[in-house]
Structure 1
Amino acid sequence: MEETIRVAIYARVSTEEQAEHGYSIDAQLDTLRSYCTLYKKQIVGEYVDRGISGKSTEGRYELQRLLQDVKAGLIDEVAVWKINRLARKNIDLLQIVEFLKKHNVAFHSFSENFETQTAMGRFSLHLMGAISELERETIVDNVRMGHRQRAKSGKHNGKVPIGYRVEGSADGRNRDTKLVIIKEEAVLIRKIFEMYASGQGLKAIANELNWEGYRTGTKKPFSTCAIANLLDNPIFVGKIRYNQYQNWGEKRRRGKNDHPILEDGQHPPIIDQNLWDKVQLLRKKKGDMPKKRFEGEYLLTGIIRCPECGAAMTASRTVNRSKDGTKVTRMYYSCGRFRSQGSSVCHANSIRKAEAEKAVTDRIQSVLEQPDILKAIVKNVNEKRSGRIKPLRDELSRFNVRIANLEDKRRKYLDLYERDEINYNLFSERLKVINGEMDNELTQKARLELELRGDVAEPVPYELVRSLIKRFDELLRKSPFEQRKTLLHLIIKKIHLDDKRRVNDVELCFSSETEKHFLSVAPSAVQTAEGAFPIDGKAPNFKQQLCIVI
């Protein structure tokens, strides 16, 4: 007897696609259900990501759940309406299909009518994936072209800094907008430029503004970075700058463009040209100066936390003279917010570098030397994990109730429309609101189900925890500085200090990735290569993330 093929249906629609092109989740599902019925295939699950873009796999909780079920051997075939529902980037598409192939799961696209079980089908996949990515890139290029044209004509794009507000309408492609000066904020901008032109540094300016109660456009205290961004923005001198960074979504500041568009704007300036030129001359001069270099090796920068405000602590030092006249350098970890935003926000709360680093390594060793303490820690972890299950399930039930209520509302409006008791415009408006709420609820439900699935795992064995910490401790003692710092930042999530600035607890997080790359055996031929960690034997493999506090 021929075995029934188990099919998982995957559907996706972004908010923009639903609004502009009328793509429908229901239509995708109905089409794929009919396909499975026609070919007598069993539907074992429907995975739907609503209101989510396909440009990446992040935030697509239903796709993640689908891949987990593939890995668990619950699926024989994955069916989609079009391949761009699965991914819009060719590299993402091929990686997903390769994952399916690795687990002997076929991939079928209804619209393109091909499967990956044949050579011609795999060729078609590559071809259609490239076409889909070309389509997306063409849309992106068209949007960029529109933004570029606006910038060249002296019009702004996107958000504006403090000092200005946007007036006018922005309906689709018809963006009849202009920048208008906010007088109260313009006074602050002039104050910042004048303070810097008078010789004050970034930190001194941020500290003074914070003490005087000023805040950024996002209502946060000023930092040195925020001040620098304002001083470097030509919008205040009546210019429009565009394309300063290319491909920001992936490259961030590494994608800086040396030749951005810079045009005279259609908006009034806040700063006169003479003041602007003076500030830019000072910025260049200070930027060419050598940056401070601290002696010693700061292993815990960014992961040790300020006991007062919780911000990450950074490297600092003091230089004093001893009684015999020689210089003595003392190295510390100090609050990053204090160093960036001044004493109005927090205090230094410094802890000596050597003291902090020794306390962390001693804490790890002491846990290994006292099994009773570690057993109590593991017991506490397992109790917390099991204690989270009920609240998660209760929250999931509330999502199900809200989803059911929205379904009822949608059916009621459909009935009213079919009986001609409401007109099309009202029906469309109400349905759009309901669909938006439904998409949000279903997305959150998918996130919760994924989280719940991870939390119902079996209790964490004591032997596993001890083995991982033992490996971690061994590597810290054997590895050179660069690897040791990398390992600390991978494994240690946070280090908390008490009110006397002593190490209170250390939060460790182990995952399958850290185990694979850092806690497993390193090839003997490349023991000295960058990223290789000297260790013998093999660390225990595990599939869940494990966080403990010691």
Structure 2
Amino acid sequence: MKYAVIKRVVIYARVSTEEQAENGYSIDAQLDILRNYCMATQAAVMDEYVDRGVSGKSIDGRYELQRLLKDAEESKFDEVIVWKFNRMARKNIDLLHIVEKLEKNNISFRSYSENFETSTPMGRFALQMMGAVGELERNTIIDNVKMGHRQRARMGFHNGKVPLGYTIVEGKGGSREAKTEVIIVEEEVAIVRYIFEQYAAGHGLKTIANDLNHRGRKTKNGKPFSTTAIRDLLDNPMFVGKIRYNQYENWAEKRRKGKGTDIILVDGHHPPIVSQELWDKVQLLRKKKGALPKKRFEGEYLLTGLIRCPECGAAMTASRTVNRSKDGEKITRMYYSCGRFRSQGSAVCHANSVRKVEAEQAVTERIQQAVTQPDILKKVVQSVNERRSGRIKPLRDELTAVQARIDKLEEKKRKYLELYEIDDIDRDMFSERLSLLNKDLDTELTRRSKLELDLRDDQADPVSLELVHDLMAKFDALLHHSPFQQRKTLMHLIVKKITLDDKKRVCSVDLAFNEETQKHFLSLAPSAENMAEGAFPFSGKASKLKHLFQITI
């Protein structure tokens, strides 16, 4: 007698805040459709993974998708089904990467609306084609939005946020382009003019930032001024009545490397803050100073960005002093100094400099001690496991509190629905209240997903002494045998932060190991035979770390 094998299926649903507001996409509608489909095909729904109010641009912040991928590694289901393939990812390359992870664990991917699944060659082909079409559609929409922004800019209207000195209000004009208006904020104007006047008088970026911070002035975001903030203000032509657009393209991905080739610079409809004469003088000085050679520090700084200032906790950066001895010989001393002090001045923090050689020696010795002295490493591993177990109760308590808030919000939604059904509340008020409740509910549900993911990692098997010793030994060997660039790469991959005490001595070194760092960098100690120039030594298959874990030495 033959028994039918019931397919184990999980449902994934996602909607971003913008999609829900603009297109009316509904998580509940997606779930209802997929549940009914599974019931009709007699598939067993093992779980549902729902990311609410989250963009599909990347996996970051999508805790339910992360949980799904972890469950896939444990083969908890046979198929993932979505309403549309773009619920899983917006970019074709991300979609294919996720599907590849599923296929490695013999899990197929099915789209209900597009009617395909990846267990067959034709299904995989359809996925690739539809993914490419979906990305083309998304890019076309983005281009159309950018076209509208470019047209607004050419007409002298501002796009996006405004800098210090301005704010946006509802426009008085009847045209579509003039629906918002940029006006001056008087209390901020004085700061902007002061910055321009001080720079025109010959003061540097750090001097101006330091002076403003001592006076308690803040940027548009309410933060202390930095050299970068001052520079961006001085380079913004909006203050002289101009609109500049398309200076950078794809800022979120390329940052300043995405320099635009078709920069728009036209007269704007907003009032200027600085005079043309002052602007021209400042730009002349900016151009002259920009042509000066940059300061260059001799030597190799291994720990930049990793050492934390003992006073404010900011990352410390490279610095040096040059003095002359009694016989006239030049003496260069290299340090790590507080990055906030170097950028924002003494109003925010102090230099708190620590000698480069001493800091790097202390860190490498601390790592070596953990390898060569078993008692130290044993205490470290014991501390890691105790800390992991100690985190569980607070996480569970917070999860209970979050679930209570979710239940309360669901109850409120039910009551408003009852009031609406008996005509005790008008449609507009009901819609407004429901929108606010759904927004709060999405926040709490996302928080619950993150807590469940954190709890899952913390309840994993205890970290073994042998595993930590093996990782530390290989890390230490690489640090002693690799050239500088590889050592710096390793440091930034594995060291989370280095803390100094109040006497500016290395207090603790926080390390983080995960599957990728172990697989690609700590699989084998270096040797002359396999050491290719510019490459990390690697051969054979590394053991697999299932979870990220951190240790402090």
User: TM-score, normalization: structure 1?
Assistant: 0.96
Unaligned runs of 5+ in 2: none
Deviation at 1:31, TM superposition (A): 1.0
CA contact (8 A) 2:157 2:178 kept: no
Question: Which region of structure 1 is more displaced relative to structure 2, 520-529 or 463-472?
Answer: 520-529
Alignment match, 2:31: 29
Question: Which region of structure 1 is more displaced relative to structure 2, 513-522 or 20-29?
Answer: 513-522
Aligned partner letter, 2:94: D
Aligned partner letter, 1:104: N
Deviation at 1:175, TM superposition (A): 5.6
**Structure 1's 284 and 451: CA in aligned 2 closer, same or farther, altered over 3 A?**
same
CA contact (8 A) 1:417 1:423 kept: yes
Aligned partner letter, 2:184: I
Q: 2:363 aligns with which of 357, 360, 363?
A: 360
CA distance in 1: counterparts of 2:45 and 2:425, whole angstroms:
37
Root-mean-square deviation (CA), in Å? Answer: 2.0
Deviation at 1:119, TM superposition (A): 2.3
- Aligned residues, how many? 549
Alignment of 1:124-523 (within 5 A): 124-168=126-170, 176-521=179-524
**Structure 1's 8 and 175: CA in aligned 2 closer, same or farther, altered over 3 A?**
farther
Q: 1:56 aligns with which of 50, 55, 58?
A: 58
CA contact (8 A) 1:471 1:539 kept: no
Aligned partner letter, 1:305: R
Question: Per the alignment, in what secondary structure is the counterpart of residue 165 of structure 1?
Answer: strand
CA contact (8 A) 1:468 1:539 kept: no
Deviation at 1:154, TM superposition (A): 0.6
CA contact (8 A) 2:171 2:181 kept: no
Deviation at 1:14, TM superposition (A): 1.3
Question: Which region of structure 1 is more displaced relative to structure 2, 501-510 or 207-216?
Answer: 207-216
CA distance in 2: counterparts of 1:429 and 1:173, whole angstroms:
26
Deviations 1:459-494 (A, max 9, x none): 111111111111111111000011011111111111
Deviation at 1:523, TM superposition (A): 9.9
CA distance in 2: counterparts of 1:197 and 1:21, whole angstroms:
51
CA distance in 2: counterparts of 1:384 and 1:251, whole angstroms:
38
Asked whether 1:528 is paired with 2:500, we answer no
Question: Which region of structure 1 is more displaced relative to structure 2, 217-226 or 115-124?
Answer: 115-124
**Structure 1's 370 and 525: CA in aligned 2 closer, same or farther, altered over 3 A?**
closer
Alignment match, 1:121: 123
Deviations 1:220-271 (A, max 9, x none): 2211111100110000111001111101121111112143111101111111
CA distance in 2: counterparts of 1:3 and 1:180, whole angstroms:
68
CA distance in 2: counterparts of 1:44 and 1:259, whole angstroms:
52
Deviation at 1:421, TM superposition (A): 3.1
CA contact (8 A) 1:245 1:252 kept: yes
CA distance in 1: counterparts of 2:523 and 2:143, whole angstroms:
44
Deviation at 1:418, TM superposition (A): 2.6
CA contact (8 A) 1:303 1:494 kept: yes
Question: Per the alignment, in what secondary structure is the counterpart of residue 536 of structure 2?
Answer: coil
Deviations 1:505-524 (A, max 9, x none): 11111111111221113798
**Structure 1's 7 and 341: CA in aligned 2 closer, same or farther, altered over 3 A?**
same
Question: Which region of structure 1 is more displaced relative to structure 2, 330-339 or 204-213?
Answer: 204-213
- Aligned-pair identity (%): 64
Question: Which region of structure 1 is more displaced relative to structure 2, 269-278 or 208-217?
Answer: 208-217
CA distance in 2: counterparts of 1:235 and 1:207, whole angstroms:
24
Deviations 1:420-459 (A, max 9, x none): 3333223222222222121111111111111111110111
CA contact (8 A) 1:505 1:549 kept: yes
CA distance in 1: counterparts of 2:194 and 2:40, whole angstroms:
73
Question: Per the alignment, in what secondary structure is the counterpart of residue 11 of structure 2?
Answer: strand
**Structure 1's 260 and 335: CA in aligned 2 closer, same or farther, altered over 3 A?**
same
Question: Per the alignment, in what secondary structure is the counterpart of residue 179 of structure 2?
Answer: strand
CA contact (8 A) 2:157 2:177 kept: no
Deviations 1:338-363 (A, max 9, x none): 11112222111111111111111111
Q: 1:102 aligns with which of 97, 101, 104?
A: 104
Alignment of 1:41-80 (within 5 A): 41-80=43-82
Unaligned runs of 5+ in 1: none
